Amino acid sequence: MLTLTDTAAKVIRDLNAQAGVSTDKGIRISSQDDDAGSLMLSVADGPQNTDKVVESEGAKVYLDPVAASVLDDKALDADIDDQGGISFHVEDQAV
């Protein structure tokens, strides 16, 4: 199952705090037209019926079935640049 780094969890919590007070807010990673080679990340109010939920340190990530399969052995990390821009990236899980 996808894991979150401490940085990614903090960034997701911060995004949720800016977006509102819903306790189900998180980010959603989904495939485009069942294409495992193209994943999208968006802010979500909650999971869809078929989503797998990953929760770490209060941060929630919702994965559609294709994304869950592709990211099963990966870790989600995040970087914040000097202007406050956020970038998420996927890496292999630490052994």
Q: What's this model's pTM, rounded to 2 decimal places?
A: 0.88
Instruction: Among 14-23, 45-54, 77-86, name the one with the lowest average pLDDT.
Output: 14-23
Contacts of range 61-66, beta carbons closer than 8 Å, 24 or more positions apart: 61/2, 61/4, 61/12, 61/26, 61/27, 61/28, 61/29, 62/26, 62/27, 62/28, 62/29, 63/2, 63/28, 63/29, 63/30, 64/28, 64/29, 64/30, 64/31, 66/30, 66/31, 66/34, 66/35, 66/36
Predicted local distance difference test score (pLDDT) of residue 34: 63
Average pLDDT of the residues in 69-92? 93
Question: Where exactly are the structural domains of the chain?
Answer: 3-89
Is CATH 1.20.120.1460 correct for 3-89? no
pLDDT in tens, 17-50: 776 656 788 999 999 876 667 899 998 989 999 9
Predicted local distance difference test score (pLDDT) of residue 6: 95
Predicted local distance difference test score (pLDDT) of residue 16: 79
